[in-house]
Every structure is written in C-alpha cells, then in structure tokens.
C-alpha cells in the first residue's frame, strides 16, 4: 500500500490522529514559511522531499538501534508546527545537516542560510505528518503511516511532499 493510501486510511479511521485540522495546520505552516522566507511552493515541496528522505534514513537507523518504540516516541514528542532546533540535532549529525542543506540549495536555488533557517520548521512538520497514523485510543500501538514511510523500498516512490499535497487536496 502506498504512503498516500495509508494516510487516507488514517484520515478515514476515527481511531487515528489524522484529521483535517492537523493536515491544515501543516499546510498553513508551509504557506507561512513560504511567505517568511520568500521561497516559492515548488522550492518548499522540494525541501520537504529532501528533508523526508534524510528523516527516513535517520529514523530507520534509530529503529534499527533502539526499536520501533524509540522512533514512535521521537515522532510523537517532536512532531509539530513550531520550530525546534533540538530535533534537527537529535535526528541528524552535522555532516548530514550539511549534506541536506547542500542538496536543498542545489535543487531549489535557495541560499544555504535560508535553508538552514527552514530546517527547524521542516523537520517537526515531517514528523507531524508521520503522526497522522498514531492511534488515539492506544498510542503505544503501531503507527501504519510511520511504518509505511520507514519500510519504503528505497526506489524513490515514497515522496512526503507529494503525499502531503495529495492529502491536502483530498480534504478540500
């Protein structure tokens, strides 16, 4: 099942956290970030995709080292719509941050400084999006959205920005 279908399943399941308010908050935060940084929507979609790729790798590593519960805790604790430098440094090493900034800079034309300033907002947004599969009645149970995201086969077909965009269209 694709990530998008998993998200739709979470939206349709009253026991999952996904709802139009949560997704609307994510979209509104991206729009505010666009206005605050001067970045256009295409650049921000690219940035979200790159952050998602790096987050998937980091979360997979954390799952391998500390288990599913540790990853769920990170997603639940740090997912949100507010800037948070702490999660950037918890998820990524300095070389990873530099690689991510460089990749976003080269793919979008945004300055490294602008990209660096966006990461504390984009990383919590990605985690917030992954929270959509959290079970509201049993928070310790498996999160199918997070599982689908982490179990991607690496062929490039799981693009978080595309999934966010499709989910926002589904809500309209």
- Full-model pTM: 0.85
Residue 126, C-beta contacts closer than 8 angstroms, at least 6 positions apart: 48, 51, 52, 55, 79, 160
Cα→Cα distances 34→20, 44, 73, 145, Å:
21, 7, 29, 26
In the DSSP assignment, the letter for residue 115 is: H
The structure tokens listed for 24 are 């609307």
pLDDT in tens, 45-98: 899 999 999 999 999 999 999 988 899 999 999 999 999 999 999 999 999 999
Cα→Cα distances 31→24, 36, 121, 159, 164, Å:
10, 9, 12, 19, 13
Place of tokens 């990209």: 115
pLDDT in tens, 103-138: 999 999 999 999 999 999 999 999 999 998 888 888
What is the domain partition of the chain in residue ranges? Answer: 3-171
In sequence order, what E strands does the chain have? none
């Amino acid at each position: 099942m694709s990530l998008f279908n998993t998200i739709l399943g979470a939206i349709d399941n009253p026991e999952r956290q996904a709802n139009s308010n949560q997704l609307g908050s994510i979209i509104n935060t991206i729009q505010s970030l666009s206005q605050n940084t001067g970045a256009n929507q295409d650049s921000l979609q690219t940035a979200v995709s790159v952050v998602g790729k790096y987050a998937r790798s980091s979360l997979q590593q954390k799952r391998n080292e500390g288990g599913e519960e540790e990853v769920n805790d990170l997603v639940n604790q740090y997912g949100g719509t507010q800037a948070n430098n702490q999660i950037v440094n918890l998820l990524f090493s300095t070389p990873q941050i530099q690689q991510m900034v460089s990749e976003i800079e080269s793919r979008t034309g945004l300055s490294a400084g602008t990209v660096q300033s966006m990461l504390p907002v984009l990383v919590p947004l990605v985690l917030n999006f992954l929270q959509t599969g959290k079970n509201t009645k049993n928070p310790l149970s498996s999160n199918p959205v997070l599982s689908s995201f982490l179990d991607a086969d690496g062929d490039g077909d799981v693009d978080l920005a595309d999934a966010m965009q499709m989910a926002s269209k589904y809500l309209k």
